[in-house]
């Protein structure tokens, strides 16, 4: 029979490897090791759930954790592929991770939980909802990198401009729900970094299409100043 302590140990090993991978690109391969740990923890939790046939509350909690561990697996694989500039694979793993996170959030609100476990799950679900907002921003950031690599700088700018408010919302959500300060710091840092990337995308567009840059700048200035907005042809057709 699967032991919860074993699942917890493997999950925490995955967390440690993921934290090391985040610190430096020199540790990039650790994302793959972390993903393996999370996958193993997810599978073990699933097996343990099937074994807990006489305990609906335990079975429901294990199903929930299995989905969350799977989301962590895909987060790590997405991060690895992103840093390798394999944006198609990075986006696919990010989307699969978001789906797993949605499953965890849904399962975390099961009626099978008693009062004590329901409160614990409520805490988990709050944190996972923060992760969900941040994961959405990550998908747009991946799209921005894909456009950047293709030389489609206006589309990259638009994707970054979609991602930034999401990270700002994630920071606000973390503050409103009294999450650990590190989540507020991370989301604010991500928003600042994406804003800088958006500026670079605009600069690259101006560098490569100087004959169009004046119109682009006038369009943005007029919009921000409250003047009548006219469609920008640079943002259509793709």
CA dist., res. 8 & res. 13, Å (int): 9
The pLDDT of 196-214, averaged and rounded, is: 82
Q: Name the nearest CA neighbour of 67 among 20, 109, 112.
A: 109
Position 211 in a domain: no
Position 107 in a domain: yes
Which range marks the domain in which residue 45 is found? 1-113
Rg (C-alpha) for the chain, rounded Å, is 21
Position 78 in a domain: yes
Q: Which tens digits make up the pLDDT trace of 145-166? A: 999 999 999 999 999 999 999 9
Position 164 in a domain: no
Which residues have CB under 8 Å from 236's CB, separation 6+? none
Position 7 in a domain: yes
Tokens of 186: 């991370």
Q: Which tens digits make up the pLDDT trace of 5-34? A: 999 999 999 999 999 999 999 999 999 999
Position 201 in a domain: no
Tokens of 27: 């540790």
Position 72 in a domain: yes
Please tell me the predicted confidence (pLDDT) of residue 227: 37
CA dist., res. 134 & res. 118, Å (int): 24
Position 143 in a domain: no
Q: Which tens digits make up the pLDDT trace of 75-118? A: 999 999 999 999 999 999 999 999 999 999 999 998 889 998 99
The pLDDT of 204-225, averaged and rounded, is: 60
Please tell me the predicted confidence (pLDDT) of residue 213: 53
Tokens of 34: 């972390």
The pLDDT of 52-61, averaged and rounded, is: 91
Q: How many domains does the chain have?
A: 1
């Amino acid at each position: 029979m699967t032991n919860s302590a074993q699942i917890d140990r493997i999950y925490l090993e995955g967390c440690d490897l993921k934290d090391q991978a985040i610190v430096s690109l020199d540790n990039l391969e650790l994302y793959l090791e972390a993903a393996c740990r999370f996958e193993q923890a997810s599978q073990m939790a699933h097996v343990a759930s099937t074994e807990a046939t006489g305990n609906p509350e335990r079975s429901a909690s294990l199903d929930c954790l299995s989905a969350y561990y799977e989301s962590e697996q895909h987060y790590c694989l997405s991060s690895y592929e992103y840093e390798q500039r394999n944006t198609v694979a990075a986006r696919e793993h990010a989307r699969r991770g978001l789906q797993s996170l949605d499953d965890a959030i849904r399962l975390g609100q099961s009626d099978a939980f008693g009062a004590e476990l329901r409160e614990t799950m409520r805490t988990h679900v709050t944190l996972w909802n923060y992760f969900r907002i941040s994961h959405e921003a990550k998908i747009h950031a991946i799209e921005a990198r894909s456009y950047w690599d293709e030389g489609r700088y206006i589309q990259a700018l638009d994707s970054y401009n979609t991602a930034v408010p999401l990270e700002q919302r994630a920071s606000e959500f973390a503050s409103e729900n009294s999450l650990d300060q590190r989540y507020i710091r991370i989301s604010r840092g991500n928003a600042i970094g994406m804003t800088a990337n958006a500026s670079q995308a605009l600069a690259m567009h101006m560098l490569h299409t100087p004959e169009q840059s004046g119109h682009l700048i006038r369009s943005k200035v007029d919009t921000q100043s409250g003047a009548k907005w006219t469609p920008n042809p640079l943002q259509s057709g793709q």
